[in-house]
Homo-oligomer: A and B are copies of this chain.
Amino acid sequence: MAKKILRINMSELKAAYEPVPERWARWAGRGLTSHVIFDEVDPTCHPLGPHNKLVISPGWVSGSPAAPSSGRTSFGGKSPLTGGIKESNAGGLSSQMIAKLGLHAIIIEGQPPKGKWYLLIITKDGVKFEDASHLMGKGMYEVDEILWQSHPDTAVIGIGPAGEMKLSNAGISINDPENRPGRYAGRGGLGAVMGARGIKAIVVDDTGGPGVEIANQELFKQGRRKLTEAIQEHALTKKGGGLNAFGTAILINILNEAGGLPTRNFSAGQFEGAARISGEAMAEVIEERCKDGKGEGTTGHGCHPGCIIKCSNIYPNEDGSALVSCIEYETAWALGANCGVDDLDWIARMTRECNDAGLDTIEAGNALAVAMEGGVIQFGDGAAAMNLLSEVRKGTPLGRIIGQGAEATAKAFGVHRVPTCKGQSMPAYEPRAVKGIGVTYATSPMGADHTAGYTIAPEIAGVSGKLDPLSNEGKAELSLTFQAATAFIDSTGYCLFIAFPILDIAKGWEGMAESVAGVTGMNITGADVIPLGKEILKIERLFNERAGFTTANDRPPEFMRYEQLPPHNEVWTITDEQLDSVFAWVHEG
């Protein structure tokens, strides 16, 4: 049974199924959301106006049986944060459920009258539009709980108060297997795009859905097996490996050691409190507060069914009960080192606040750090940071500033050291100390985003070779390769963490491609990964050009060009020509 497009019109409160047009049939996940946006959204439209759209798509293999770690859902739209095209994907329950309903993508367009808010219930029978008044103003913890009372075991996609206010750092929450919010399509303000469609939450119930058709069972199974083996063999992704045992925050000490852990609003590359907020420290807290298997805290938590990497964690309160899931490396850094905060409990409370109010933690941490630089509160004061963050859900003017992210906060408080590219805050790797990731930040059509082309793999983690992070050599080419591979992986439904094993273990790379070919029946091999990824990048770049972006937007913030970063005392040294070489091919040939 062929997959369908579900098109939802919020002006008319109507939904309809459409066959998948030829030009979209090749794509899924990010590849599909970006193609739909490219084809249907005017690049010069206002992101919060009636002509932007929210597109949701599971990946190629999502929902297929036992494809390992394949529960990512892609969300796309024109970003209110960057003004460009945006795809943001996350784990949680939604990807597999949408796929099992036979949906290739959900396209949400139009706007209800001002002040009208809806809850959408998507089942095999179509879409119900319910009044959402009872959910308004509520955080995602409460929303998820309320919705599971009437719709147990469903996927819940929702926005917190930040999205209701259409703040440009509003993310989209997806519930995890235990119905916690916290799997976030966080970056780029897509929660505001959802809010601007008048939607507070979407329940997806796959009961009775047709499931995912597998075009070539043998090829799919072969690919799945190769990929699974590669994941299980790689030191970073295997059971008990780095990610499973310590979560992504294992990177805190590593980046600190490398002098690339941005500290106090990117004014240093090492944080004296790094060890106290590291993955190792987190594991110790969990161990101590949840002795002998008591309590809910844990590492090795899976954010979606079928994940075999399980890098998520549940951080416990002192009594062992769950405080929040999860504290990622990026989160521990953003709310920790970047704010000068070295207390995991404050970081955990702020993370929960972000998950509940509906904010991306990276952008939120950067906004807090910029506010600190602007003198609003002091660096290192976790309690004050928590208070400031709590303003967002209240909708106070201060909260509305912080809730828009770092750039808006900088403007409000006259700060010119703003670590953003295309309006989006940098994540937890300092471009002056790790040059390749700076190329990705600067040139990605998504704005500053580590996941858009994770050159950290060879520059820091020794995956796919080992490169000198301080060297400029080859970093433009490196970033492009990673950006293209990522655009492909973001289309598969697989978690990006399969990148580690597939880069190091050949059968993993092949297996990924074969599993996609097996599900879709398309003739895809490992050799097609980069070319297909580049096709996606190309339309994203073209959308951005039509929205008004030029190579001048492919630059790191000015202060990094003249301010030396301790301990290496390096400035940004990649030339504009190198940066411009990354996407020169878009207009060649």
Binding site for B on A (CB under 8 A): 42-51, 80, 165-168, 192, 195-196, 396-398, 400-401, 404, 408, 411-416, 418, 545-550, 552-553, 555, 557-559, 562
CA distance in complex: A46, B415 (Å): 10
Which residues of chain B come closer than 8 Å to A165, judged between CB atoms? 413-414
CB < 8 Å: which of B47, B168, B408, B550 contacts A550?
Answer: B550
State whether B416 touches A49 (Cβ < 8 A). Answer: yes
Which residues of chain B come closer than 8 Å to A416, judged between CB atoms? 46-49, 196
CB < 8 Å: which of B48, B411, B547, B553 contacts A408?
Answer: B411
CB < 8 Å: which of B50, B413, B558 contacts A51?
Answer: B558
Minimal beta-carbon separation of A143 from chain B (angstroms): 19
CA distance in complex: A367, B10 (Å): 29
State whether A44 touches B555 (Cβ < 8 A). Answer: yes
Interface of A is mostly: loop
CA distance in complex: A549, B558 (Å): 17
Most B Cβ at <10 Å: residue of A80, A413, A416: A416
Known interface pairs A401-B401, A413-B400. Does A545 touch B555 (Cβ–Cβ under 8 Å)? no
CA distance in complex: A550, B553 (Å): 11
CA distance in complex: A80, B413 (Å): 13
CB < 8 Å: which of B46, B195, B550, B559 contacts A49?
Answer: B559
State whether B404 touches A411 (Cβ < 8 A). Answer: yes
State whether A412 touches B418 (Cβ < 8 A). Answer: no
Which residues of chain B come closer than 8 Å to A562, judged between CB atoms? 50-51
Minimal beta-carbon separation of A561 from chain B (angstroms): 9
Closest 3 interchain pairs by CB?
A166-B414, A548-B552, A397-B398
Known interface pairs A414-B166, A550-B545. Does A46 touch B557 (Cβ–Cβ under 8 Å)? yes
Which residues of chain B come closer than 8 Å to A545, judged between CB atoms? 550, 552
Which residues of chain B come closer than 8 Å to A400, judged between CB atoms? 397, 401, 412-413
18 cross-chain CB contacts under 8 A? A42-B558, A44-B558, A49-B558, A51-B562, A166-B414, A167-B414, A196-B416, A396-B397, A397-B397, A397-B398, A397-B412, A400-B412, A401-B412, A404-B411, A545-B550, A548-B550, A548-B552, A548-B553
By beta carbon, the residue of chain B nearest A554 is B548
By beta carbon, the residue of chain B nearest A576 is B44
Minimal beta-carbon separation of A41 from chain B (angstroms): 11
By beta carbon, the residue of chain B nearest A81 is B411
State whether A547 touches B558 (Cβ < 8 A). Answer: no
CB < 8 Å: which of B42, B418, B553 contacts A46?
Answer: B418
CA distance in complex: A398, B395 (Å): 11
Minimal beta-carbon separation of A162 from chain B (angstroms): 10
By beta carbon, the residue of chain B nearest A373 is B114
CA distance in complex: A408, B414 (Å): 13
CA distance in complex: A550, B84 (Å): 14
CA distance in complex: A47, B557 (Å): 12
State whether B43 touches A552 (Cβ < 8 A). Answer: yes
Which residues of chain B come closer than 8 Å to A414, judged between CB atoms? 48, 165-167, 192, 195-196
CA distance in complex: A545, B559 (Å): 21
Which residues of chain B come closer than 8 Å to A547, judged between CB atoms? 552
Minimal beta-carbon separation of A165 from chain B (angstroms): 6
CA distance in complex: A168, B545 (Å): 26
By beta carbon, the residue of chain B nearest A412 is B400
CA distance in complex: A51, B563 (Å): 12
- In the complex, given contacts A46-B559, A196-B414, A397-B397, what are 9 additional A-B residue pairs having Cβ atoms less than 8 angstroms apart? A49-B416, A167-B412, A195-B414, A400-B412, A401-B401, A401-B412, A404-B411, A548-B548, A548-B552
Most B Cβ at <10 Å: residue of A51, A401, A411, A555: A411
State whether B408 touches A45 (Cβ < 8 A). Answer: no
Minimal beta-carbon separation of A530 from chain B (angstroms): 29
CA distance in complex: A167, B411 (Å): 7
By beta carbon, the residue of chain B nearest A50 is B562
Minimal beta-carbon separation of A76 from chain B (angstroms): 19
Which residues of chain B come closer than 8 Å to A44, judged between CB atoms? 552, 555, 558
Minimal beta-carbon separation of A457 from chain B (angstroms): 29
By beta carbon, the residue of chain B nearest A165 is B414
Which residues of chain B come closer than 8 Å to A411, judged between CB atoms? 80, 168, 404, 408
CA distance in complex: A415, B80 (Å): 12
Which residues of chain B come closer than 8 Å to A413, judged between CB atoms? 165, 400
Minimal beta-carbon separation of A69 from chain B (angstroms): 36
Which residues of chain B come closer than 8 Å to A168, judged between CB atoms? 411
Minimal beta-carbon separation of A405 from chain B (angstroms): 10
By beta carbon, the residue of chain B nearest A555 is B44
Which residues of chain B come closer than 8 Å to A401, judged between CB atoms? 397, 400-401, 412
CA distance in complex: A412, B412 (Å): 11
CA distance in complex: A478, B371 (Å): 46
CA distance in complex: A387, B446 (Å): 40
CA distance in complex: A192, B415 (Å): 11
By beta carbon, the residue of chain B nearest A551 is B548
Which residues of chain B come closer than 8 Å to A553, judged between CB atoms? 548
Minimal beta-carbon separation of A569 from chain B (angstroms): 18
CA distance in complex: A45, B418 (Å): 12
Which residues of chain B come closer than 8 Å to A51, judged between CB atoms? 558, 562
CA distance in complex: A195, B414 (Å): 10
Which residues of chain B come closer than 8 Å to A548, judged between CB atoms? 548-550, 552-553
Minimal beta-carbon separation of A193 from chain B (angstroms): 11
Which residues of chain B come closer than 8 Å to A47, judged between CB atoms? 416
